[in-house]
Structures are given as C-alpha cells and as structure tokens.
Structure 1
Amino acid sequence: MRVRNKPWADDLITENPQAIVLNPEHYRGQWQSRFKSVQPLHVEIGTGKGQFLIGMAVAHPEFNFVGIELQKSVLAAALKQSLPAELPNLQWVLADGQGVNDFFEPREVTQLYLNFSDPWPKTRHEKRRLTYKSFLKSYAEVLGDGGQLQFKTDNRHLFEYSIMSMTSFGLNLTELSLDLHADVAASQGELENIETEYEQKFAAKGQPIYRLVAQFPKK
C-alpha cells in the first residue's frame, strides 16, 4: 500500500525525541529508561496510526507500551495523535518490526500485539507473514516462557494459517474468537477490546473480526 508523504512528519519527529525512538537497538535491555515507571512491557508490531496502542496506554497505565512502525508518515500520524494525551507509558519506534529481537533482550517483553498484519496471500510469500515460524522464533526470544501474543485480523485465511503455525510451533491458544465484536457484546463488558482504525472500517462493513491470544509454553 502506498502511503502519502506528510511534509510535516520530519519536523514533528525531530521535535519530540521524548516520545519517539529512531535507534531502537540502542535501548536493547534498557527500555524501562524511556518510561516514567518500571512496568511490564507490551509491544505492538505494525502500529499504524496508533489508535489501538493509544487506547491501551490510556486504559492500562500499569503497563508500558512500545509501538513499532516502518512507515514514517504513518508513525508521525500516531505520534501527533498521542502527544496531547501526554502518556508517560507510551513510546513510538520508527523501524522494521522484523528486527524485534535486535531491539529487545530475551524476556524483556511481556506481551506482543499483531493487529491486521499484511496477509501476504500468495504461497510464495508465506515467509513474509508475521505469524510464520521464523517470526514466532524471534517473538519467543523476546517474550520468554509464558509470554503472550495477541493477534487480530479480518482475513480468515491468515487467521487459519496463524492457528496452524502457532500450534505447530508449540504455542497454547488461550483465547479464540471467530466474531470478536459479537463475543464482546455477549460478554457484557467482561471481554476487553480496544479497536484499531482498520478494525472499525471492516466491522462497519459487517465483516467479522478474528482474534486469538496465544501463550508461549513454560519450560
């Protein structure tokens, strides 16, 4: 997908070094220094315009959050949206999420989020899917035993593929939803769901949203 350039993006990023990291490998093992309080670290790979992670940071001040996004203009939009809230538990990273184990030390992260990742539907592109086994291996390194991975998508094929990939890798599925919004409504507030921009768009068209939560095994 082509992303329109935002001429103000560079200036906004330069003016807010307290909220955005351009050299994430420098903070490997030291991410807590970027936050006001030392708290469990949650990371979203492919954060888009930031609606999900901003919502999570507001709803859960007891956790620290890092959002990783490769597209500068997209991440600048997330940064712009988050600045008025002055959230001390939220940081943005301009980088390719494929380098997650270069950015975080083993067991430095408690939970990972993958929201509406590119499905890469062609078989020859399987290795690019963020739930392919090589990616799961890198997640296992930064999460450690018992770490959790939350995955949401509108793509049924990718969801089914991810279930098979994760279970083959040895992950335990602790939550599985084939219609997340229906399940949230039926739970009467017991099931939390912070929506992403894509999620709202697809749900408005009546398309079901799929979600799973998987846990890496405790050895």
Structure 2
Amino acid sequence: MRRRKKKGADLKLLSFENLVIKGDEIDFKGNWNEKFQNDNPIHVEFGTGRGKFLTTLAKQNPNINYIAMEMKEEVLLKAVEKAVENELNNILFIWGDVNNILDYFDKGELSRVYINFCDPWPKKRWYKRRLTYRGFLENYKKLLNDDGEIHFKTDNEKLFEFSLNEFSEANLKLKNITLDLANSDYEGNVTTEYEDKFMSYGMKIYRVEGLKI
C-alpha cells in the first residue's frame, strides 16, 4: 500500500533549517565536525523513525555528535520536534536515503552506526534491501573509523540470524550478542518507540554489535 504523506510535513520539516539537511543538498561531506563546530565523535542512526532513541542518547551524551537519518518526512518531523523540545545542540537530521550514504559522509568520518528495527524485507528475493545485507555493511565500514562499531537491534528472529551471518561475511567482530534483551545482563539499553511496544507484548528483542577489524 502506498504511504500517505501528511500534508505540509515537508515544508514544516525544512523550516528547521539549522537542524535538517536534505540529502541532495549536503555539501560538507568530510566536514561534519565543522557543521557541529567541534571534533567530537559522530554516531549515526539510519532509519531514526520518531527519534526517541537518538534524542535520548544525545541528551545523555553531550560530548558525542549524533546524526539521525530518515526518509519519511512526517516521521522525521516528530524526531526533530523532540530535539527542539529538549534543546539539544549535538544532533542533526538528514532527510535522505541510506542508499546514498557514500555521498553524505567521507571515509572514516563516523565512529558508530545504529540500525534499529529496520524493515526485514521478508521475501527471499528482497534480501539485498535489508540494511544488514553485506553490501550495506561494506558501505558502513568505509565510513567508520578504525575503531568503528555497528549496533543492531530487531524483533525479527530470522532477520537477526541473517544479520549475524552477514556481519561475519563482512569481517565484523561480533560482540554482545543478545537473544532476549529485556532478560539479559546488558546494561544501559536505550529503547525506541517500536521497542517499547514490542516489549509490552512480551516479544523478544535481539541485539548485536559488530566491530570493525
């Protein structure tokens, strides 16, 4: 079913010109620290949704720069409004497509990538569209510095199994593999809106970190 856009969301989104950058208008590839006006590490979430996850992290970690990326303007608008409400000055937003990230960032410019509850694209012929497919992972690796990390969470067991294999094929070192996050020893978990909903239903959340080696 075709996504119905919220009328006026694009114009309102672009009114936050100090926070939101359209993907096709990015002209500071390799110079994001100049945009933030500091040399702090940069963490990016691809598919940020309504922004609870990344705005929470930005509030907790003022010495880290965060970039939230999302294609759906009405959803991204919710995330931007959270940042404004919390008066965050260490977060920016890209209204753009993950397929174009090599146009947005330079090699080694990022310290961490977050992928949370991405579309599982369940049909076999769609596997290359999954954000944890090795083609995407290789792009993330190009953008990560030598100590860079990829953090991934999902409620989909089959996608998680697929992703573990793809992480290994992409020569990422697996760390903190969790098959039931709510009942694990992992500390400091920050939830997304989807995650809160899934956990309220008693669903398992799967998590893994992939380290660049």
Structure 1 CA distance, aligned partners of 2:119 and 2:14?
29
Structure 2 CA distance, aligned partners of 1:148 and 1:2?
34
Judge which range, 141-150 or 101-110, deviates more. Answer: 141-150
RMSD: 1.5
- CA-CA distance at 1:32 after TM superposition: 1.3
Q: What TM-score do you get using the length of structure 1 for normalisation?
A: 0.92
Match of 2:198 in 1: 202
Which residue type is aligned with residue 197 of structure 2? Answer: K
Match of 1:214 in 2: 210
Matched-pair contact (CA < 8 Å) for 1:22–1:95: yes
Match of 1:132 in 2: 133
Q: What TM-score do you get using the length of structure 2 for normalisation?
A: 0.94
Match of 1:13 in 2: 13
3-state SS, counterpart of residue 66 of structure 2: strand
Which residue type is aligned with residue 134 of structure 1? Answer: G
The within-5 A match list for 1:149-168 is: 149-168=150-169
3-state SS, counterpart of residue 145 of structure 1: strand
Structure 2 CA distance, aligned partners of 1:4 and 1:201?
23
Matched-pair contact (CA < 8 Å) for 2:13–2:73: no
Match of 1:117 in 2: 118
Match of 1:55 in 2: 56
3-state SS, counterpart of residue 27 of structure 2: helix
Matched-pair contact (CA < 8 Å) for 1:34–1:91: no
Structure 1 CA distance, aligned partners of 2:148 and 2:212?
5
Matched-pair contact (CA < 8 Å) for 2:155–2:198: yes
Which residue type is aligned with residue 193 of structure 2? Answer: E
Match of 1:71 in 2: 72
Structure 2 CA distance, aligned partners of 1:67 and 1:58?
14
Match of 2:189 in 1: 193
Q: Deviations over 1:68-110 (max 9, x none)?
A: 1011111111112221112110001100012112110000000
The alignment-based identity, stated in percent, is 37
More strand by share: 2
**Gapped runs of 5+ residues in structure 1?**
none
Match of 2:28 in 1: 27
Structure 1 CA distance, aligned partners of 2:39 and 2:7?
35
3-state SS, counterpart of residue 175 of structure 2: strand
Which residue type is aligned with residue 90 of structure 1? Answer: I
Count of aligned pairs: 212
**Gapped runs of 5+ residues in structure 2?**
none
